[in-house]
Amino acid sequence: MKTAVRTTNLWKIYPQEPDPVEAVRDISIKIETGDFVAMAGPSGSGKTTMLNMIGGLTRPSQGQISIGDQEITEMTDKDLAQLRLEHIGFVFQSYNLLPVLTALENAEFTLLLSGIPKDERRKRVLELFNKIGLSGLEDRKPGKLSGGQQQRVAVARAVVANPALILADEPTANLDSKASADLLDVMERLNQDHGTTFLFSTHDPRVMERSRRLITLVDGQIESDKRQNHLSVSS
Amino acid sequence: MAHDRLWWRVAWRNLWRNRLRTLITASGLAFGYLGAVLMVGVSDGMLVELIENGTRLMLGEVQVHSEDYLPERNMHRTIGGYEGTDLEIFLNQINSQEDVTAAAPRAYGGGLLSSGEETQAALLMGIDPDREPHVTTLLSRVVHGRPLVTGANEILLGSEMVEQLGTALGDEIVVVAPSSDGSMGNDLFTLVGTFDTGIPAIDQNYGLLALSDLQFLMAMDPARIHEVAITVGNAQDSPRIAETLREFLSDTELPVQVSSWTDLRPELAEMVSLMNAFHFIVVIIIFGMAAFGVANTMLIGTFERRREFAVVRALGTAPIGIGQTVVYEGIVLGMISLVAGSLITWPILVWLHNSPIDLTQVSSGFSVGGAQWRPVLRVEYSIESPIVAGLGLFLTSILAAVYPAWKATRVLPADALADR
């Protein structure tokens, strides 16, 4: 199986006074293409820092990161932006939709950046909205959507360009149980239908349960890394 | 292209997220535009007034003399020499020039005026009473009596000269002047009017006579004149028009000198240059102040949206794209401000142009280089200054967006997402 993400002896040290903070300490992991992986751990364990480094949003202090067959640690900001546009989708804890754009415009954002023609963009977004239960909400601004709906728009935005890898930072943290379950259904379905690799950071047991691989971090290091039985999408 | 449309859309909508802030910022720019255009308009009004009073009163905007007449003003150096020139043909040639509005011939002499026991030295100016009003406003400054009639031995004197001579309308004035044949000419003239230009040098020293009367007094042939005063469409174009006329008259083989008012009143021309430079500085100061205000507002907006910038970076936008949207906001803000500025500026400009503010209660005016400025806030406008000010405003809003845009490109996505 191909490797979607590989980190080698990854360190992230924040230069703080009086002592530097070692957020990530010597982590080496390999994530296979099409996997559904949760990275768990308490606050401050380094989950978000790991996601940010893998997504090229912050640079490691030491070590290497490869996305697919591309080594990204030496890439320029512009090349990293292009890599994210073509290969990586992001889902954030607090949705982070652009408030001035409608649900549809938010979802088609990456397609627009990729220069996909309008008709094609609309077709793909509307199909996706239909699949994830957002039909009829296309013209609403984020402020007029519930938290669950906003997070589904965020997922639509992340997956609409068919990236190979989705990085989701605590995607269910602000959602109730029902919305969380619905969102996980959506993401599992996309994972199964498109073979998209998902890597979550979470401390939500429901997400941990439904991941196929659970990596637990403590104090910036891997405490455990285990495969688990995967529950199918709820009906 | 689709990119661009997206960033324009985002820029437009971002501006309206905080309507009040956008409106206040746009108002600042719009009032800056009003200030700049109005300042230039008032200043132009002063300049036009100074130039008009300096040229239209007596000088004319262009003058033609015999090439050796200036600066001594020797009475024998008439246009065409001792023979003179066919005045009608010469004036027609000048009037045939595209930019020339009117031309009037003149002769000058120095003399003594006596009335009763009083005698005063005077500059005698011979004018054509029919042509002169088309070139200068001198005859419109007659405050008592009436203008001259040719061939009737009449004289107009400045109000202060009248006081010095202790004379009154209808009195006879003895005029003695050196003649071109070496003798002394003298004759009786009737005071038919007094003029008041507000310029002491003129009101104290000048006596106006009909051209032919002065020529007769000074034993000069009617074909001999010292000067042709010319008025043109736009006084500021005078140097160019003088140059064109110089080239044209060089073909007539008359040895003449053509001077624009900028040559004849260099101190006034200096004043005009100085005020134009002053315009430029004031406009820069106005828009400079506006630029800092706009930059400050946009910087605040940029800081508020750090997280959004981080998100679009995470979604695959290159740093330059982030900067682009902030600059677009500046452009859109500039356009809104320009529209608002134009809407408030033009009515005020037209109103002030038609109804100048009278400041005679607080100032009595001043004169520069023989040109008087009345204390009336006259506003002049042209298409030029609003366009230049509009470009200034536009440039201001773009330049004011550059630093915030640069700051936006420097946002570290991970830090901004973590609200660090």
Examine the pLDDT at A104 and tell me if it is beyond 60: yes
Whole-number Å distance between alpha carbons of A109 and A84: 13
pLDDT higher than 50, residue A233: no
A203/B contact by beta carbon, under 8 A: no
> Which among B14, B316, B319 has the least Cβ separation from residue A113?
B316
pLDDT band at B122 (very low <50, low <70, confident <90, very high): very high
Q: Does a structural domain hold residue A56? A: yes
pLDDT over 80 (residue B182): yes
Q: Which of A77, A112, A114 sits opposite B319 (nearest CB)?
A: A77
**CATH number of the domain encompassing residue A14:** 3.40.50.300
ipTM value: 0.87
Are the C-beta atoms of residues A198 and A36 closer than 8 Å to each other? Answer: yes
Q: Tell me how far CA of residue A15 lies from CA of A19, A46, B420, in angstroms.
A: 7, 15, 14
Give yes or no for a contact between B357 and B24, defined as CB atoms under 8 angstroms apart. no
Average pLDDT, chain B: 89
Quick check: B418 contacting A, CB < 8 Å? yes
B317 vs A52: CB contact, 8 Å cut-off? no
- Residue B174: predicted pLDDT: 95
Shortest Cα distance, chain B CAs vs residue A5, angstroms: 17
**Residue A92 · residue A154 · CB < 8 Å:** yes
Cis peptide before B347 (omega within 30 of 0): no
pLDDT band for position B290 (50/70/90)?
confident
pLDDT 10s digits, B25-56: 899 889 988 988 888 888 888 888 788 778 88
Chain B touched by A18 (CB under 8 Å): no
A60: closest chain B residue by CA: B414
Residues of A in contact with B8 (CB under 8 A): none
Q: What is the pLDDT of residue B270?
A: 87
> In this predicted structure, which of A9-18, B134-143, B255-264, B353-362 has the lowest mean pLDDT?
B353-362
- Shortest CA gap B364–chain A (Å): 58
A51, part of any domain? yes
Task: Report the pLDDT averaged over residues A14-35.
Answer: 91
**Is the Cβ pair B315, A113 closer than 8 Å?**
yes
* Residue B286 scores a pLDDT above 90: no
- pLDDT, position B42: 86
Q: Which of B4, B16, B17, B315 to mutate to test the interface with A (most CBs of A within 10 A)?
A: B315
Please tell me the predicted confidence (pLDDT) of residue A180.
83
Chain B: closest CA distance from residue A229 (Å): 32
What the block records as the tokens of A228 is: 């688990």
- B163 in Cβ contact with B171 (< 8 Å): no
A93 vs B244, residue with greater confidence = B244
> Which chain B residue has the Cα nearest residue A85?
B316
pLDDT of residue B419 exceeding 90, the answer is no
Distances (CA, A) of B16 to A139, A180, B8, B9: 18, 34, 13, 11
For A112, the closest of B6, B307, B417 (CB atoms) is B6
* Arithmetic mean of pLDDT, A128-141: 90
Q: Say whether residue A118 is in contact with chain B using an 8 A CB cutoff.
A: yes
**C-beta of residue B342 within 8 angstroms of C-beta of residue B386:** yes
Q: What domain range includes position A46?
A: 3-227
Report yes or no on A166 lying in a domain: yes
Q: How confident is the model at residue B414 (pLDDT cuts 50, 70, 90)?
A: confident
Residue A174 domain-assigned (yes or no) = yes
Rounded CA separation B286/B30 (Å): 11
CA nearest to B15 within chain A: A100
Per-residue model confidence (pLDDT) at position A17: 80
Answer whether B311 sits within 8 Å of A57, measured CB to CB.
no
B4-26 residue pLDDT tens? 788 888 889 988 888 999 999 89
Overall domain count for chain A: 1
Alpha-carbon distance A224 to nearest alpha carbon in chain B (angstroms): 26
Q: Check if A157 contacts B (Cβ < 8 Å).
A: yes
Residues B249-271 have a mean pLDDT of 87
Is pLDDT larger for residue B59 or for residue B375? B59
Say what the pLDDT of residue A10 is.
Answer: 95
pLDDT of B132 > 90? The answer is yes
In this complex, the residue of A58, A78, A100 whose CB is nearest that of residue B17 is A100
Which B positions 7-66 lie with beta carbon below 8 A of chain A? Answer: 9-10, 13-14, 17
Does residue A29 belong to any structural domain of this protein? yes
Q: Is the pLDDT of residue A97 over 60?
A: yes
Q: Do A57 and B417 touch (CB under 8 A)?
A: yes
Q: CA A207: distance to chain centroid?
A: 13
The alpha-carbon gap from A181 to the nearest alpha carbon of chain B, in Å, equals 25
pLDDT band for B57, please (50, 70, 90 cuts): confident
Which residues of B fall within a CB distance of 8 Å from A82?
A: 316, 318
Is A104 domain-assigned?
Answer: yes
pLDDT of residue A231 exceeding 60? no
Residue A235 banded pLDDT, cuts 50, 70, 90: very low
Chain B partners of A142 at a C-beta cutoff of 8 Å? none
Contact between B172 and B189 under an 8 Å Cβ cutoff? The reply is yes
* Beta-carbon separation of B17 and A112 below 8 A: no
How far CA B28 is from CA of B104, B328, B397, in Å, comes to 51, 19, 11
Residue of B nearest to A87 (CA): B316
**Chain-wide mean pLDDT for chain A?**
90
Q: Do the Cβ atoms of A81 and B317 come within 8 Å?
A: yes
Pairing of strands B154-158, B184-195: parallel
Residue A143: Cβ-neighbour burial (10 angstroms; 0-12, 13-18, 19+): exposed
Give yes or no for A200 touching B (CB within 8 A).
no
Q: How many helices (H) and strands (E) does chain B have?
A: 14, 14
Does residue A179 form part of some domain? yes
Interval A76-89: pLDDT, tens = 999 999 999 999 99
Q: Per-residue confidence at B381, pLDDT binned at 50, 70, 90?
A: confident
* Cα angle: A64, vertex A65, A67; to 5 degrees: 155
The full DSSP string for B391-410 is: HHHHHHHHHHHHHHHHHHHT
Residue A23 in any domain: the answer is: yes
Residues of chain B in contact with residue A170, where contact means CB-CB under 8 angstroms, are none
Whether A109 sits inside 8 A of B312 (CB atoms) is yes
Q: What is the DSSP string of B216-270?
A: HHTT--TT--SEEEEEES-GGGHHHHHHHHHHHHHTTT--EEEEEHHHH-HHHHH
Give the residue from chain B lying closest to A56, CA to CA. B314
Q: What is the pLDDT of residues B210-229, one digit of tens each?
A: 999 999 999 999 999 999 99
**Chain A contacts in chain B segment 310-339 (CB below 8 A):** 310-321
Please indicate whether residue B208 or residue A131 has the higher confidence score (pLDDT).
Answer: B208
Tell me the shortest Cα–Cα distance from A75 to chain B, in angstroms.
13
Q: Supply φ then ψ for residue B410, to 5 degrees.
A: -90, 0
Percent of chain A with pLDDT over 70: 97
Judge whether residue B371 has pLDDT over 70: no
